[in-house]
Structures are given as structure tokens and as C-alpha cells.
Amino acid sequence: MRRDIFQAVADPTRRAIMVLIAAQALTPNAIAAHFDTTRQAVSKHLKILAECELITQEHKGREIYYQLELSKMKEIDIWLEQFRKMWEDRFSQLDNLLSNLNQQI
């Protein structure tokens, strides 16, 4: 089954992993140390994130380091942009309404 990025970011643990590795690449053990779960559970989350191309791996000696793939995050941003514009328009309309009401008082 092919997952998409929205399925990947739907899980709070995977979002937390993404936040962790956004600043610096980490090994699976270093990532697992931040969670009250098994190393295997963290590996499963890493696998899903990798399948969705939200993270990449880099081998350094015997260690694997995971890092966030920022360019893939752009897909989420593009999707959210439609809602951002909609809310900005609504807030602008609300600002105009409040200004008109203040002028009438």
C-alpha cells in the first residue's frame, strides 16, 4: 500500500519525530530515546516517513542518520495555502465589518 504525506503527518509521534530531525540528523536510537516506546515502534514510524519521502537516510560508518526532507514538506504547504488564503480573506472581511461598525458608533 502506498501512503501519502498526509497519512504520515496524521500521527503525532511521526510529527514529533519530524520536529526532532528538522534541526539535525539523528540515529534511530537517538530518536527512540525521546519517546516512551520501543525502538521497533520508532523504526516503524521511520519506515512510514521514509516511504512518504519525508525523511532521508544517510549512512555514516555503521550508523544510519535520518534527516527531514524539507522539499517534500512543500507539498503540505501548497495544500495548506488554499486554506490560508481563505482565512486571510475572511479575517479581512471581519476587519472591514468591525471598522464599519466602529465608524457608525
CA atoms of 63 and 28, how far apart (whole Å): 9
Model pTM above 0.85: no
Distance (Å, whole) CA 96 – CA 93? 5
CB within 8 Å of 23: residues ≥ 6 apart? none
End-to-end CA distance of the chain: 61
**Secondary structure element (H or E) that encloses residue 66, with its range:** strand 63-68
Domain CATH number, residue 31: 1.10.10.10
For residue range 50-67, what is the model confidence (pLDDT) as tens digits? 999 999 999 999 999 999
Largest CA distance in the chain: 72
Nearest one of 14, 103, 7, 100 to 55, comparing CA atoms = 14
Enclosing domain of residue 74: 5-104
Count structural domains, the chain. 1
pLDDT at 1: 60
